Amino acid sequence: MTAAGRNVSAGRRIVGSAFAKRHQLRPSFGFYAKIILTVLLALWMIPEVYMVSVSLRPPDKSFDPSLFVLPITFDNFATVIHDNPLLRFFWNSLVITIGTVLVVLVAGSMFAYAASVLRLKKTMLIYIILLTTLMVPVASIVLPLAIMLKSFDWINSYQGLVLPYAALGIPYAIVIIKAFMDDSPRDLFEAAMIDGCTTLQMFFHVALPLVKPALIFVAIWQFIVTWNEFFLALVVMTDSEHKTVTLVPMQYSGMYMANPGALFAILVIIALPLILLYIFVQRYFIAGLLSGAVKG
Amino acid sequence: MNKRTTLAFLLTSALFLSASSAEDQAKKQITVWSWFISSTMAKSIKAFEEKNPGLEVKYTYYNYSPEYITSLKAAAASNSLPDIIGLQPGSLTQQYREQLAALNSHAEKEWGADWQSKIFPVNLKQMGMGNPSGDTNFYILPQESQILVIWYNKEIFKKLNLEVPKTYKDLVAASKKLTSAGYIPVYQGAADGWQNENVFLMLANQLAPGLVDEAQNGKSPWASPPLVKAMHAWANLFKDGVFQQGALGAHAYPTGAQLFAQGRVGMMALGSWWMQESKFPPPLSQYVQNMSGFDFFYFPALEENGKSSPPVGGIDIGYGMTKNGEKNPEAWKFLASLVRSDGLQQALNDLNDLPATSDFEPQGDVTPNIKEMYGRFMADLPHAENQRFLSPQVSEELDSVLGGVAAGSVTPEDGLKRVQAATDKALGKN
Amino acid sequence: MEWSVYVQRSMNKAAAAESEKKLPRRRSLVERCPYLYVLPATLMFVGLVAYPILWVIGESFRGASGKDFVGFSQYVRAFSDPVFWRVLLNMFYWGAITIPVQMVLGGSIAYLIERHTSRSRTFFRVMFFLPVVTSVSVVSIVWAQMYAPYYGIVQEYLKYIGVQLTIAPLGEPSIAIFALILVNIWQWTGFSMIMYIAGINSIPSELFDAALIDGAHGWNLAIRIVVPLLSPVTRSLLLLGVIGTLQTFPIVHLMTGGGPDHASEIFGTYIFKQGFVIGDSGYSSALSVLALFLALALSVLQIAVLGSRLSPQTRRPAT
């Protein structure tokens, strides 16, 4: 093997960028890249820093035009926690969000499987029709959905939000999962069929593992979208036992109760689980992708 | 696997659901939705529940736009409206008239045949606004009234040696002084339609009292000279630096109110409801404490020997009983308490706003200066001009036009033509 | 080949489990009727999406009071409504600016992060994604504050370099929509970034190796090699971008309400105003149907012209 060839096979095991850095002819661009990223990030984060800063301010300084104001106070957080049964709202949000994610994953992957692997007839047609879901403005369907849900007596119930959310989220999940399934080598499935797998076994043991990154991506995305959703939650959850956490902020931005510190405090609290979740899960996400990317 | 976990979750939630709904069976319930501030409503509810043991009121607070109007519409469409809903007279009441119960017979039984006599005339007029001809029923009972005024910060004025402006020229001069001293002269949340509408009504009614009312009813053209003048005056408020720079991008709540309460703003076009800030939970700014730093005046005369604006206002908030509520025998009890008994009293004690009837006044801890301002409001309320619109198309178009004129993208004359077109269309449908 | 070893192992497990089963094998329901895989998604669609869409279409043939049947007059009305055309213009600006900018920015940031950082990678990946998970209420208030000329923080810090904002971006009819577009870009670039990160990470490293050996580095490498390989991601983002543009609502409603005087009116705010504030559900439904058709037409157009492979992975093994 030539020297170049030896380098290539060594390079296979290493993630692209480390290899690139080591073998670049100029001094590492990585240094400049980091500077650019840091400056960009600093500017990008100004609104976020402002949000946290306002949540820590006393009311007389809420709208002071500076990023940081001392002294900081945790009163706003105390107010928000005191005023609202936050635990209950968090629980509601959690149940609904996780429920939605599960329904979307199950129904979406099953459909993608049928369309991509099993290639059932007419599924492509249904697939395209399903895509129209994505194009409907939510404000337009709030009214008919409310009427439907009322007729099933699903107002103020978990399924009253989980099922509409899932229905709205499944098409996007199908697009992503199907794309990954489309890209999987046909021969694996053919081999499984020859070996006598049932479609169900093939689904669980071949198809799903192959698209694990897609599943994780869909799960994270659906979690974020569902957690932050507001309009439908407003209309479906009208009594306080069932409200989700996204309905709390409106109490603090209303006409007479102007309390921006509390508003920002609750918004920080709402955003935290998402951020923590994302930090935690993105490792798996990237790990999943990498295990698929490295071939040698 | 996945299915088992799903099942587990659904089971847990079902358990949760059944647990929570079991507790509510004990007391008789009345459901209420409104945009009324929760802390004050809680006091009204407490007073009611103390007098009516065995009854429980469940109140849901909504921000007016978009939350309240969305929820109302969705609930109306799916026939799941609560017993009692907060209403504004005119277009909101009319939109839901078909799902509301006629309240006259209930009112008569509760307060006697002359129950209307103590309600201020402008409120009575607004109660019936938009009813199809021949329908003398009322679907809304007013709880509170309001008067639109210009509030100003007394301390800042004293510091800068400013007097209450008597003419428009004075107002412009005062604004200049405030601006150069680093204050916001008149904070206008021109991104919100309502505040623009209010100021325009002040101007229009100064030049021709009651003309806007006639115009919205089709009895006078919108292009009448006084209204054209008012529109020009409106544009000048922006050009002459009376309103702050960038007013078109600003919102009155929460930003404007916050800055005003904290003493960064000289004046603001609000109403009698501003006094409730003095009853908010602490910490309160020195100005808001006991309202000691604020006072009000009416929009000054546009011309040298003109008059300042008359009081404009009417119903602040009222309540209606839905057809669902009519089936609930306890619902009326709460409605009655809310608009004309203990519930109302609690709201007044919080200085939430002025009463809709002349036989109530705030009790409890009321400082002399608040009493004095309150007295002035109450003296003016019987003569107040109507501020409400009966057609949402017309008020929406007026709001858009006011924004356009302020931005300079629409001339006052063209703007009024658009409002005329919207009015004609709206009346043509009736 | 780690990957196919993994799959091989699970397949062997399946085969082993298969042979351990008692004979005769019971054919489960889903084997007999494989369309059951499709059922849950389709059912939910029909019940919770198709029916509302049909309802909305039905409503669009009614007049303002919601009771009378007026045929296509609400649609005709839309075409002669100057606000409708303003909405189309604003939506065009919105899509034409946000989509490419978000792609270029997101892609560049993704490239910098993935290829030029190692220890700080997770940090950057998380931080740039933060705006995506930030709730719209806070975004709107914070940015409204930032845009205020009087007391805004942008003004405050610009003072130090002698720049005085004389206009309020959100209050100028000619600029408002662009000010809103900037906010949207701020919030959603992180999403494009994530998609591109996935895409970049799925390019097999042999391709990088081969290109480097061929002498391509830095700029050349990025533009000539990586960008074309990322075209499936780009296509996805384009499709989602068009759809997402037409669906925008809370950010505009909370910041300008569509004003001043319809200057920043978009489909979402106009549909909301007509349906919920004015109460003309016939007209708002007609507008919804028009928005739906536009999205459909643009998506079909895109798929026809650019192809439909949306997978970010190129999993074909090299030779």
Q: Kindly report, residue by residue over A89-136, the tens digit of the pLDDT.
A: 889 999 999 999 999 999 999 998 888 887 777 777 788 788 777 777
**Cα dihedral sign, A130-A135-A138-A140:** negative
Residue C18 resides in a domain: no
Neighboring chain B residues of A158 at a CB cutoff of 8 Å: 10, 13, 17
Specify the pairing of strand B265-271 against strand B141-153: antiparallel
Residue of chain B with shortest Cα separation from A76: B283
ipTM of the complex: 0.80
Percent of chain A with pLDDT over 90: 10
Six token digits for residue C62: 């009614």
* Best CA proximity match to A41, nearest among C189, B160, B383: C189
Q: Average pLDDT in the C143-159 region?
A: 68
Residues 195-234 of C with CB under 8 A from B: none
The lowest-confidence range among B178-187, B228-237, C226-235 is C226-235
- CATH code where residue C85 lies: 1.10.3720.10
Q: Quick one: three-class SS letters along B161-204?
A: CCCCCCEHHHHHHHHHHHHHCCCEEEECCCCCHHHHHHHHHHHH
Q: Are B393 and B425 in contact (CB under 8 A)?
A: yes
Higher pLDDT, B17 or B10: B10
The continuous run of DSSP H or E covering B316 comes out as strand B312-321
**What is the pLDDT confidence band of residue C270, given thresholds at 50, 70 and 90?**
very high
* Best CA proximity match to B395, nearest among B148, B63, B135, B130: B130
Contact with chain B for residue A175, Cβ under 8 A: no
Our count of domains for chain C comes to: 1
pLDDT exceeds cutoff 60 at B1: no
* Best CA proximity match to C137, nearest among A53, B249, A230: A230
The whole-number pLDDT of residue B173 equals 95
Q: What is the domain range of residue C280?
A: 73-307
The whole-number pLDDT of residue C153 equals 65
Q: Average pLDDT in the B233-239 region?
A: 94
Q: How far is A174 from chain B (nearest CA, A)?
A: 17
Residue C190 resides in a domain: yes
Q: How far is B46 from chain C (nearest CA, A)?
A: 32
Six token digits for residue A159: 């399924």
- DSSP character at residue C161: G
Residue of chain C with shortest Cα separation from B409: C173
Contact A95 B79 (CB under 8 A): no
Phi, psi of B322 (to 5 degrees): -80, 170
Q: Average pLDDT in the B118-132 region?
A: 90
Write down the pTM of the prediction: 0.83
* SS3 label, residue B220: coil
The whole-number pLDDT of residue C158 equals 65
User: What b/e sequence results for A161-180 when a residue is b if at least 16 CB atoms lie within 10 Å of its CB, and e otherwise?
Assistant: bbbbbbbbbbbbbbbbbbbb
Residue C4 resides in a domain: no
The whole-number pLDDT of residue B133 equals 83
**What is the pLDDT confidence band of residue B26, given thresholds at 50, 70 and 90?**
low
Q: How far is CA A49 from the centre of its chain?
A: 22
Six token digits for residue A92: 């509601």
Number of C-beta neighbours around residue A122 at 10 A = 10
The whole-number pLDDT of residue B3 equals 62
Q: Which among A138, A188, A197 has the least Cβ separation from residue C7? A: A188
Q: Are C131 and C139 in contact (CB under 8 A)?
A: yes
* Best CA proximity match to A104, nearest among C46, B8, C49, C41: C41
Residues 348-387 of B with CB under 8 A from A: none
Angle B66-B71-B72 (CA atoms, 0-180°, nearest 5)? 105
Work out the mean pLDDT of chain B and round it to a whole number. Answer: 88
Give B428: exposed, middle or buried? Use CB within 10 Å, 0-12, 13-18, 19+: exposed
The continuous run of DSSP H or E covering A104 comes out as helix A86-116
Give A265: exposed, middle or buried? Use CB within 10 Å, 0-12, 13-18, 19+: buried
CATH number attached to the domain at A86-255? 1.10.3720.10
Q: Are B346 and B109 in contact (CB under 8 A)?
A: no
Residue with tokens 């007419």: A122
The whole-number pLDDT of residue B9 equals 59
Q: Quick one: three-class SS letters along B355-386?
A: ECECCCCCCCCCCHHHHHHHHHHHHHHHHCEE
Q: Kindly report, residue by residue over B271-296, the tens digit of the pLDDT.
A: 999 998 888 877 778 888 889 999 99
Residue C249 resides in a domain: yes
Q: Average pLDDT in the B240-261 region?
A: 86
The lowest-confidence range among A114-118, A119-123, B221-225, C219-223 is C219-223
The lowest-confidence range among A56-60, B15-19, C180-184 is B15-19
The whole-number pLDDT of residue A202 equals 83
Contact C213 A8 (CB under 8 A): yes
The whole-number pLDDT of residue C19 equals 47
Q: Are C230 and C196 in contact (CB under 8 A)?
A: yes
The whole-number pLDDT of residue B243 equals 93
The continuous run of DSSP H or E covering B87 comes out as strand B84-87
The whole-number pLDDT of residue C152 equals 64
The whole-number pLDDT of residue C307 equals 65
Q: Kindly report, residue by residue over C102-123, the tens digit of the pLDDT.
A: 999 999 888 888 877 777 888 8
* SS3 label, residue C182: helix
Q: Which among A134, A209, A291 has the least Cβ separation from residue C243? A: A134
Q: Kindly report, residue by residue over C24-65, the tens digit of the pLDDT.
A: 445 677 677 778 888 888 888 888 888 888 989 998 898 776
Higher pLDDT, A283 or B216: B216
**What is the pLDDT confidence band of residue C167, given thresholds at 50, 70 and 90?**
low
